[in-house]
Structures are given as C-alpha cells and as structure tokens.
Amino acid sequence: MRTAHMPTKKSHVINLLPQEEFQKSVLGRTLYWATTTFRTIVIVTELVVIVAFLSRFWLDAKNADLNDIIRQNQSIVESYQDFETDFRQVQQGIKIFSDLENTTGLSTLLTKTVNLLPEDVRLISIAQAQNSLQIKASSASERSIVQFITNLSADPIFTEVKVTNAAASSENSAVLVFTLETKFKEQEGS
C-alpha cells in the first residue's frame, strides 16, 4: 500500500525590520515598546468599555426597581394624607379642650350656662374675657331669649347681663340670633 505523501507547510515569518540591529538601537526599542504597550492599553480599554456597556443594563434595571419602590411609597404616603389631616384636627381640638379645661373655672361656667338654657335656645359660641362671658345663641322665640336672660341674672355667679346684639338669622328669618354679655364673679377654689 502506498501512502500519499503530503507536502509539509513551511511557515516563514517575514519581518521587514531587521531584528538584530534595529532592536538594539534606541529607536527600535522604543518602537517595540510602543507597539506592545499600546496593544495592551487598547485591549484593557476595550475590556473596560465592554464592562461599562454590560453594567449599564444592570444599572438600568436597578434604577427601574428603585423608581417603582419610590412610586409605591409615595402612593402610601398620599393615602395617609387625609388620615393625618383628621388626626391633626382632632389633636388641635383636644389641645383647645384641655386649655379650656385648665382655664380657671371655665368648665363650671360652661356647665352653668348650658344648664340655664331654655329648651329652644341653641348656643352658637361662648367666648371668655377677663371676668366676662360673651354668649352667642339663637332662638325662634323672644320669650325664650328673655327667659335665658332671666335665668342668667338669677344665678349669683353672673352679674350685669345685657344684650349687645340681636338680629334675624341670615339662613332663616324666623330665627333670632342674639349676643349676650355677662360678667361673672371669681369662684373660690378655682
């Protein structure tokens, strides 16, 4: 049997720069260093660019996740806004009530005033100054207003009861809105 003879390939390196003499010169060493060093720099730069390009996808995903979390938390905070407003109003009312309760004898004056109201007289507001009260109320009959003034005058705590204003209500002309001013005596122990 005959075997086929295959030609062998010879590899020849062709270098146009004379290696021995040129690499020994300063210019040759500089060119050799520049070509190898810059090749390494280019490869490292390409790797950095590739890593930066691929990390951008990861950073975009993280950014999208963070934006979703921010939107969710923002909607949760906004959903509690009405509750917070109501809570603050209740706190303010409690503070006003506790301040009124701590005011000297005001709770006693309020209780006495409410107890002296005729059935069809409705309180609108009560304001306290030094030793006087300003009571704003409404009633459908003049007789009830006179009865309320009489009740206040009969109580020993209240003195100098006088009507400072009386007019028909802007919502209902059959209802009278009136303002009374009365002085009161300081109570002992309050």
Residue-number span of the structural domain to which 41 is assigned: 23-73
Instruction: Specify the number of domains making up the chain.
Output: 2
Q: What is the dihedral of CA 64, 68, 70, 74, to 10 degrees?
A: 150
* pLDDT value of residue 65: 95
Residue 66 inside a domain? The answer is: yes
Residue 151 inside a domain? The answer is: yes
Q: Same structural domain for residues 177 and 113?
A: yes
Angle in degrees, CA 37, 38, 39, rounded to 5: 90
Supply the DSSP symbol for 16.
S
Q: What is the pLDDT of residues 96-146, one digit of tens each?
A: 777 766 655 667 778 888 888 888 888 888 888 778 888 899 998 889 889
Whole-angstrom distance, CA of residue 115 vs CA of residue 69: 58
Cα dist. 123→15, 46, 116, 117, 180 in Å? 112, 85, 11, 9, 11
- Whole-prediction pTM value? 0.45
Whole-angstrom distance, CA of residue 114 vs CA of residue 119: 10
Whole-angstrom distance, CA of residue 167 vs CA of residue 180: 12
* pLDDT value of residue 160: 86
* pLDDT value of residue 140: 87
The residue behind tokens 């996808």 is 57
Q: In the chain, which residues have pLDDT < 70?
A: 1-10, 15-20, 22-23, 100-106, 186-190
Q: Same structural domain for residues 117 and 166?
A: yes
Check which CATH number belongs to the domain holding 132 and give it.
3.30.1360.100
Residue 10 inside a domain? The answer is: no
Residue 78 inside a domain? The answer is: no
* pLDDT value of residue 105: 65
* pLDDT value of residue 190: 44
* pLDDT value of residue 72: 95
Residue 17 inside a domain? The answer is: no
